[in-house]
């Protein structure tokens, strides 16, 4: 690969980042680096973009998972040396992933993912960054599509990895692994090889080494085709979620006590299947927020409403009243861990009973002030908030419209999407208005209705400290 070809790869990454609004020139971006070829190439590409003034490269972040003994330590030393050569800080963390997997009864893969999510938040705060760039490639995207296809996923799952999810960005999703390795060879730059990537007992590795080569016999660009399919499906899913949320608001009512969900039967039955399934799932999860429902349960509710018969979903009952049907949960709500409800004056500060966190409100301020990106600090429009807020733990049925998302989601699903460990979810502070509308899942996501816009004249700054 020539120097011109190296620049071509960098230019393509730049265009992909612009298309998906991954960053702006003034944003501070961290490169997550494991030592493998994908992430090492990412570090050099971002360094080149920073030299052009496209971004600010705030550092390289490496988490030592302690899974391979001296090899893990060698990976860490390699990443520290790479950061030093690039002239940026090395942000290094340490996690005993095996111990965490054993403690929580999860796989090493899941425990490692949770450990990385926690580490990235710490890394962002340590250098006042706005984004963490991950080295997932077009090959990774193709493998993810196939893995999810074997599990029977719909458009949401087959959309695979998004170019951006909150502070995490994936600028290499349109770039192949072979291209990145060619970039490193052209620069005469080494990388580290992880022998576990050859372990075919891991499903992803079987897809990578056994399935993808066969698919490339059919289509030499099979990985690009699968990645393109994911892009199309993700856009389709976002549209359908938006339509389904609007339909849910129109034809579904929730009792004020949260114990029953009322559906307008005729309007529901007129919905296209793709929309009806989503609305059915929303209704089921509103009636029984203690669990997540899938295709089988959504279709069972559709069948019961069409036939005017009983429901066979455990824990739920369907009562028919002429043109309406009511879903009633037979499962008692489980109380939140250490339930609290604290009044947060503006300005003011509240602290959890056990001292695990504080939430503060500053303002109101007459005009938005510049503020760096920090998961523990957000700026909200003061209009509609009132003189004080409420801080509490999550409750069954909590929903909000996350900033940038197509519609309303359960808080539980938001936390699952953001890889928040199960044991931590009930202790996250939820900031609401006095009337109960969720403003901020603290440290995680802001509600879209309280975002700062060009028309905002007064703001309040909310701060989470742990």
Residues 310 and 457 in one domain: no
pLDDT (0 to 100) of residue 195: 86
For 51-105, the pLDDT digits (tens) are: 999 999 999 999 999 888 899 999 999 999 999 999 999 999 998 888 888 877 7
pLDDT (0 to 100) of residue 381: 87
pLDDT (0 to 100) of residue 4: 60
Residues 16 and 139 in one domain: yes
Whether 239 is covered by a domain: the verdict is no
**Contacts for 2-10 with beta carbons within 8 Å, 24 or more apart?**
2/186, 3/186, 5/182, 5/186, 6/183, 6/186, 6/187, 9/45, 9/175, 9/179, 9/180, 9/183, 10/45, 10/48, 10/49
Higher local confidence (pLDDT), 456 or 185: 185
Residues 306 and 360 in one domain: no
Q: Which domain holds residue 220?
A: 3-232
The last residue of one of the domains, among 232, 266, 283, is: 232
**Cis preceding linkage at 364, omega within 30:** yes
For 95-105, the pLDDT digits (tens) are: 888 888 887 77
Residues 131 and 214 in one domain: yes
Whether 365 is covered by a domain: the verdict is yes
Residues 348 and 435 in one domain: yes
For 221-249, the pLDDT digits (tens) are: 999 999 999 999 999 999 999 999 999 98
pLDDT (0 to 100) of residue 336: 47
CATH number of the CATH domain containing 351: 3.50.40.10
Number of domains in the chain: 3
Lowest mean pLDDT among 131-145, 334-348, 441-455: 334-348
CA 444, CA 462: separation in Å to the nearest integer? 12
Residues 259 and 189 in one domain: no
Higher local confidence (pLDDT), 446 or 339: 446
CA 442, CA 465: separation in Å to the nearest integer? 10
Residues 281 and 324 in one domain: yes
pLDDT (0 to 100) of residue 332: 56
Residues 282 and 146 in one domain: no
Work out the pLDDT band at 425, boundaries 50, 70, 90.
confident
**Positive or negative CA dihedral for 309, 313, 317, 323?**
negative
Cα dihedral 180, 183, 189, 190 in deg (nearest 10)? 30
Lowest mean pLDDT among 43-57, 282-296, 333-347: 333-347
Whether 243 is covered by a domain: the verdict is no
């Amino acid at each position: 690969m020539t120097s011109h070809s190296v620049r071509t790869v960098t230019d393509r990454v730049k265009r992909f980042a612009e298309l998906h609004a991954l960053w702006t020139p003034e944003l501070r971006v961290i490169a997550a680096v494991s030592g493998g070829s994908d992430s090492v190439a990412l570090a050099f590409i971002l360094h080149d973009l920073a030299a052009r003034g496209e971004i600010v490269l705030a550092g390289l972040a490496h988490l030592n998972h302690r899974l391979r003994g001296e090899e893990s330590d060698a990976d860490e030393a390699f990443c520290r040396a790479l950061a030093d050569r690039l002239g940026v800080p090395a942000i290094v963390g340490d996690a005993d992933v095996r111990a965490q997997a054993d403690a929580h009864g999860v796989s090493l893969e899941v425990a490692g993912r949770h450990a990385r999510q926690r580490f990235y938040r710490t890394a962002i705060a340590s250098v006042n960054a706005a984004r963490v760039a991950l080295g997932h490639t077009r090959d990774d995207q193709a493998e993810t599509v196939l893995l999810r296809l074997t599990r029977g996923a719909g458009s949401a799952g087959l959309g695979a990895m998004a170019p951006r999810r909150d502070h995490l960005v994936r600028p290499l999703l349109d770039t192949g692994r072979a291209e990145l390795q060619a970039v490193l060879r052209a620069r005469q730059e080494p990388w580290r090889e992880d022998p576990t990537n050859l372990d075919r007992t891991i499903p992803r590795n079987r897809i990578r080494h056994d399935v993808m080569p066969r698919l490339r016999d059919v289509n030499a660009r099979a990985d690009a085709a699968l990645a393109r399919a994911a892009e199309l499906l993700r856009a389709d899913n976002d549209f359908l979620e938006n339509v389904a949320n609007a339909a849910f608001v129109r034809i579904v009512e929730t009792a004020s006590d949260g114990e029953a969900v009322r559906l307008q039967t005729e309007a529901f039955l007129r919905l296209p299947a793709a929309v009806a399934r989503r609305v059915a799932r929303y209704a089921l999860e509103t009636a029984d927020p203690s669990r997540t429902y899938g295709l089988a349960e959504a279709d069972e509710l559709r069948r019961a409403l069409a036939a005017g018969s009983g429901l066979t979903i455990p824990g739920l009952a369907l009562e028919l009243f002429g043109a309406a049907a009511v879903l009633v949960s037979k499962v008692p709500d489980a109380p939140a861990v250490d339930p609290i409800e604290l009044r947060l004056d503006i300005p003011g500060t509240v602290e959890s009973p056990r001292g695990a966190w504080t939430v503060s409100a500053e303002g109101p301020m007459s005009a938005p002030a510049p503020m760096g990106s920090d998961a523990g600090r957000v700026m909200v429009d003061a209009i509609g908030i009132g003189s004080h807020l409420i801080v509490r733990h999550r409750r069954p049925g909590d929903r909000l419209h996350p900033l940038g998302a197509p519609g309303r989601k359960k808080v539980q699903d938001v936390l699952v999407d953001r890889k928040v460990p199960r044991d931590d979810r009930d202790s996250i502070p939820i900031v609401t208005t006095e009337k109960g509308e969720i403003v901020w899942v603290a440290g995680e996501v802001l509600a879209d209705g309280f975002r700062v816009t060009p028309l905002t004249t007064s703001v309040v700054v909310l701060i989470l400290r742990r």
